[in-house]
Amino acid sequence: MFKRFYQQISAAFPAKVAHEVSELMVQGGFEQLSPRVFMGFATFFSFCVFLLFFFATPFFTENSALHLLVPFFVLGVSAASFYLFLVMTAESRARKIEQILPDALQIISANIRAGMTIENAIWSAARPEFGPLQDEIKRVSADTFGGTPIQDTLLRMTRRVRSVILERAVKLIVEGISQGGEMSRLLDEVAEDIRSQYTLHKEIATSTLMYTIFIVFAAVFAAPLLFSVSSYYAEMNENVLQKRSADMSGSGLTGAASQRAGVSGLPGMSGAGAQTSGIAARDVYWFSVSCILVTTFFASLILGVIRFGKATRGLKYAPPFVLGALAMFFAAFTVLKGALGGMMG
């Protein structure tokens, strides 16, 4: 019943979008799940979250702009989370295959040297410890023994795995099979080349460690501390101005008298009191929170580019970065308010 409901919801999406989602689901190992059902569930869930925040936001803020901005923002985040889940799952599966691929290629090479054909050598290399690569090898072997040329089945495998390394390796193998080259030697060289790439990636990650430390420190520690100081200063300044305005009103000072007192020149103040058009301390507070969210999110993407060469590889750091930075901001703001709040009393 729910599957049909989700399929009806996903009918609003074009076939091109469904095809892209289907590819990501295959690459992530979700072949048994219909892409239309997944899209329908994601849409329904995101819409429910939208309604929840739409009715809950007015209880937390009186800003009418936020009454629409927050629900639509949450709607976008929820929809993007489902897409990022597919991307990260596909890349995680690809990394597992890439890590075990050199060992599998060497096993296939040893089988060929033992006298097996390329088809039997690949089939014999399917081992439980290979994880998702075992499933791909079994599928390639099943399609090959079913009558499909080995070159075609290998190329199909590259479309089921989101890996550039696997795609390059398969293209070399297919070219070697087509030209009748010495496959055992070719497989050994490809395996050694993949290992060299991983060694190079580790060296690059080590050499960029200082950049990583700087990004983490700036995004998770330094920025929240500075934002907390700015937010508290804005709140303290607002309280001072309001208090002086109240004192002047109570003492009956005129606009000229208040100007002589040096109050009207302060930001957000005039002789008549606080300006309603000025920036409130609460606005600075939420602006700081928004900046922290954006800063930590992009810091995780930059970290993924520096360490792994892919921005999406850094998305796994986004949740701990966001939580850590917000915790630092709230803690620093609370400490400042507790330590210096007595000055306002």
CA distance 122 to 150: 10
Whole-number pLDDT of residue 264: 43
Determine the Cα–Cα distance for residues 86 and 78; give it in Å rounded to an integer.
13
User: In the 8-state DSSP scheme, what is residue 218?
Assistant: I
pLDDT per residue over 247-281, tens digit each?
776 665 555 544 444 444 444 444 444 444 467 78
Report the candidate in 214, 217, 239, 229 with the shortest Cα–Cα distance to residue 288.
Answer: 229
Compute the distance between CA of residue 273 and CA of residue 21 in angstroms, rounded to an integer.
Answer: 58
pLDDT computed for residue 107 by the predictor: 94
Which residues in the chain show pLDDT less than 50? 257-277
**CATH number for the domain formed by residue range(s) 94-205:** 1.20.81
If DSSP states are collapsed to H, E and C, what string results for 156-180?
HHHHHCCCHHHHHHHHHHHHHHHHC
Query: Which of 29, 317, 310 is CA-nearest to residue 164?
Result: 310
The confidence score (pLDDT) of residue 101 equals 93
Output the pLDDT for position 202: 82
Q: What is the pLDDT of residue 278?
A: 61
pLDDT of 277: 47
**End-to-end Cα, the chain, rounded Å:** 62
CA 132 to mean position of chain CA atoms: 23
In this structure, what token pair is assigned to residue 169? Answer: 């390796």
Rounded Cα–Cα distance for residues 85 and 75 (Å): 16
**In the chain, where are the structural domains located?**
2-92, 94-205, 208-245+278-343
Element (H, E) at 109: helix 64-113
Backbone angles phi, psi at 115, to 5 degrees: 110, 5
* Distance, CA of 189 to CA of 211 (rounded, Å): 34
pTM: 0.75
